[in-house]
Amino acid sequence: MGAAVDDGEVSKNAADVSSDGIKSAYGKPIEKEVSHFYNLFNLEDDALEPGFFNMWYFDCFNYHENQPVYYPCFEQDFALGQKGIRSTILDADVPQNYADIPVGQEILNLRDADADGGCDLTYPNFFSPSGVVCTITQTGDNHLGYVGFRATANSLRDNGAMNVVVDTLHISP
């Protein structure tokens, strides 16, 4: 859910993964060892979405849009949990048991998933009196909402994307 990993790492072809020495192609182990591999992704996820980018860089200081650029800024790439598997990966290199499932509509437009009284994702803004702004302004924005939203410390307000997890769960006898 909201995987903060390179969008090419699920490929079976090592050429689909940037060769920085850290990232690897995990498609063959996924296909061999896992019954079903579901990637729940969300185009609006504020922790994973790219903000402004061009061919050469991601804008890490995207103050004009008041949007964080966390994953793309630090990784200089797109996240699997933001838009699913990279579109340039050949079908033959996608594990047969792999599926992307969009869950953006499951993540409510709520600023406080953990019920601690504060915004879950803030971003520096020198023009704001507090010096930060809450970036959660629409459905799908709150990266912390995948596992649900609390009304209080002990009660659930919404299950986030957990209903999708349960609906896609396959239990073998």
**Position 106 in a domain:** yes
Asked whether residue 154 is domain-assigned, the answer is yes
Asked whether residue 109 is domain-assigned, the answer is yes
145 in a structural domain: yes
Helices and strands, number each (H, E), in the chain: 4, 6
Flag whether 138 is in a domain. Answer: yes
Bin 58: left if φ > 0, else alpha if -120 < ψ < 50, else beta: beta
* Tokens of residue 93, six digits: 């290199």
- In eight-state DSSP terms, residue 83 is H
> Residue 75: inside a domain, yes or no?
yes
pLDDT in tens, 144-165: 999 999 998 789 999 999 999 9
Q: pLDDT tens-digit profile of 66-101?
A: 566 678 877 878 899 999 999 999 999 999 999 999
In a domain, 8, yes or no: no
Q: Is residue 74 part of a domain?
A: yes
Name the nearest CA neighbour of 78 among 69, 67, 90, 91. Answer: 69
Q: Domain of residue 142: give its range.
A: 14-168
User: The pTM is what?
Assistant: 0.85
Q: How many domains does the chain have?
A: 1
